[in-house]
A and B are shown apart, each in its own frame.
Chain A
Amino acid sequence: MSVFFSFIKKESRHIIRDKRTLLILFGMPLIMIILFGYAIRNDIGNSKIVVVDEAHDPYSAQLIAEINASKYFEVSRIVGNEASLNHEFQQEKAAIAIIIPPDFSHRLLHLKTAQVRLVADASDPNTATILINYATAIVHQFQQRLFPSAAISLYIQPEIRMLYNPAMKSVYGFVPGVMTLILMLVSAMMTAITIVKEKETGTMEVLLASPLQPPLIVLGKITPYILLSFINALLILGFGILLFQVPMRGSWFLLLAECVLFTLTALSLGILISTTTSNQQTAMMLSLGGLLMPTVLLSGFIFPLKSMPVILQWFANVIPAKWFIIILKNIMIKGAGWHEVWAETGILSAMTVFFVIISIKKFKTRLS
């Protein structure tokens, strides 16, 4: 035991004395959470809208006022005709435009079916769709207020409720995502690098020539990282909950236990990488390309998996991060318990066992 302890002491000294490691360990989560929390979000607010008001009457004025009053839009210009519209879009003066035709009031009052046209900048399709939906909703509200019941009696009026995240805050999705990313980064990449570093400097050979058992060497090296990953997870959770009001509806115990499990998954991947190379640079590239990229792209963190080609969706199933994000979201945001996440937990555990077995096999063949 004292052997193990002196190993951990030494490893902690390495970490504390390496400014770059410290920066990655604690600077990275901080920067990411702040970036994703404040800057990178796909909530849309105060988008610029250009109004082409060809009607110029009290009703159109009222509609414009209502659009401007919504928190989603900010009327940037009101013009008389749509000749300059293309120009407005190109100059980024407008993300969307609404065109109110000259006979707007007339049709509204006498024919009961008026038309407005919505034109959106679909060079960013996601944003365009969202803006169109918001604008449509505003138009609906407007007509409902004008004709409380009669005019739309034949419509099926859906009542929409956004479960778990009524304000549709994207930070709800980012906190689990960032946590996954950081745990993967710290646990997998840092352990791969720290083990490979000993090979590169030649100290690994001396350790192997000592009576220490190889599993003890690996365990001694990764233990401080398990602790650090856990601290990191708590840090991110703290930030998310205190700063961004991300809810924590499920059990803390279950959440933290899942964090430990995912840390182990990532560590086993890190060890696996360290067995394949004896060069820090390669270890870093392997971790970035082989682990971080899929974690960012194929875990559902940033890009929804549902809209990907089927093959990629299949591929996503072998990415541990996908399952961890599902678990995190379920526990934190939906308040799910063990009954709802046991299957995903099982998959993660199986993956971990699989990686550990392969790394042990590889580590052994390297020695004989």
Chain B
Amino acid sequence: MNYNSSSIPAIQAESLTKEFGDFTAVDAITFQVEKGEIFGFLGANGAGKTTAIRMLCGLLQPTSGSATVAGFDVFTQPEEIKKNIGYMSQRFSLYEDLTVKENIRFYGGIYGLSNEAIKEKTGILLERLKLHNEAGSLVKRLPLGWKQKLAFSVSLIHDPAIVFLDEPTGGVDPVTRRQFWEMIYETAYGGVTIFVTTHYMDEAEYCHRISIMVNGKIVALGPPSGLKNKLNADSMNQVFLKLVRQS
């Protein structure tokens, strides 16, 4: 079964649940993400977003339910999933004491890319980010916005089918956020599925579809315009507040 040529959805989750002792962090969430879609995964802090992402990335074993990512089962094929996804964590995930080039090489290396492939990718990546002059400088000397863009590009180095971005724009200025989203669009246009969490409600408008999580449950799911109509709200911010107050 080949994911690329098939009509399998990028992500399919069915009553996916994670319990930590008595606490249900993720409570039977069901949703589907199509190939090439930009899917916004919204929710307040502690709503269960990160736990859900970790299950989908094969970092955390779900308690019950079922889910496939790129056609692979999260229970039985976490290793296959890991080869086919990119992951950018909430916290900045590059090594500050390595140079830009060394970071790219390292991440290319751990995904098993050949030296030639890494060299080629490095060239393309530096060109795209216009970072050629900074290739040899330590990552810690770069401004935060550049770091985030670099981290995103590095998470794509092995051409994953799906990329998970966990609050990628935290603490970044509005201009850079805008540029970042342009990169996301470009990537999605290239056929990569984007699964992104954020708590900036203006960013939610950029997504094709969004889901909103409250207390471990998905309480709303659909395109931003549809959700606004349904809840009689002018902005995503209002949508979010109304949903949170309801529950």
Contacts and interface: CB of A to CB of B under 8 A. Distances in A.
Interface of A: 2-3, 5-7, 9-10, 13-14, 17-18, 201-203, 205-212, 367-368
B58 interface: yes
Contacts of A202: 89-93
A368 B61 contact: yes
Interface in B79-136: 79, 82-83, 85, 87-98, 102, 105-107, 109-112
Given A2-B109, A6-B106, A205 B89 contact: yes
Contacts of A10: 95, 98, 102, 106
Given A210-B82, A210-B110, A6 B97 contact: no
Contacts of A17: 97
Contacts of B82: 209-211
B83 A211 contact: yes
A206 B61 CA distance: 17
B60 interface: yes
B112 A3 contact: yes
Interface of B: 57-61, 79, 82-83, 85, 87-98, 102, 105-107, 109-112, 155, 164
Contacts of B155: 206
Contacts of A209: 57-59, 82, 85, 87, 89, 164
A210 B89 CA distance: 12
B110 A207 contact: yes
A203 B96 CA distance: 10
Give me the 9 closest cross-chain CB pairs, A-B, nearest first: A6-B109, A202-B91, A209-B87, A206-B93, A211-B82, A368-B61, A10-B106, A205-B89, A17-B97
B59 A205 contact: yes
A198 to B, nearest CB: 9
Nearest to B87: A209
A18 B98 CA distance: 11
A18 B97 contact: yes
A212 B93 contact: no
Contacts of B112: 2-3, 211
Contacts of B79: 211
B60 A7 contact: no
Given A7-B110, A209-B89, A210-B111, 7 more contacts: A3-B109, A6-B105, A10-B102, A202-B93, A203-B95, A210-B110, A212-B110
Contacts of A2: 109, 112
Contacts of A18: 97
Nearest to B114: A2
B114 to A, nearest CB: 8
Contacts of B164: 209
Contacts of A203: 93-95
Contacts of B88: 206
A202 B98 CA distance: 15
Contacts of B98: 10, 13-14
21 contacts: A6-B105, A7-B110, A10-B95, A10-B102, A13-B97, A14-B98, A201-B91, A201-B96, A202-B91, A202-B93, A203-B93, A203-B94, A203-B95, A205-B87, A209-B57, A209-B85, A209-B89, A210-B110, A211-B82, A211-B83, A367-B60
A208 B110 CA distance: 11
Nearest to A2: B109
Nearest to B53: A209
Contacts of B95: 10, 14, 203
A211 B90 contact: no
B80 to A, nearest CB: 9
A17 B89 CA distance: 25
Contact of B89 (A5, A14, A206, A212): A206
A9 B107 CA distance: 12
Contacts of B57: 209
Contacts of B92: 201-202
Contacts of B97: 13-14, 17-18
Contacts of A206: 87-89, 93, 155
A19 to B, nearest CB: 11
Nearest to A216: B110
A31 B102 CA distance: 34
A219 to B, nearest CB: 13
A7 B90 CA distance: 23
B195 to A, nearest CB: 13
A207 B91 CA distance: 13
B169 to A, nearest CB: 16
A233 B107 CA distance: 33
A202 B60 CA distance: 16
A352 B240 CA distance: 54
A7 B164 CA distance: 23
A285 B96 CA distance: 24
A206 to B, nearest CB: 4
B59 A367 contact: yes
Contacts of B60: 367-368
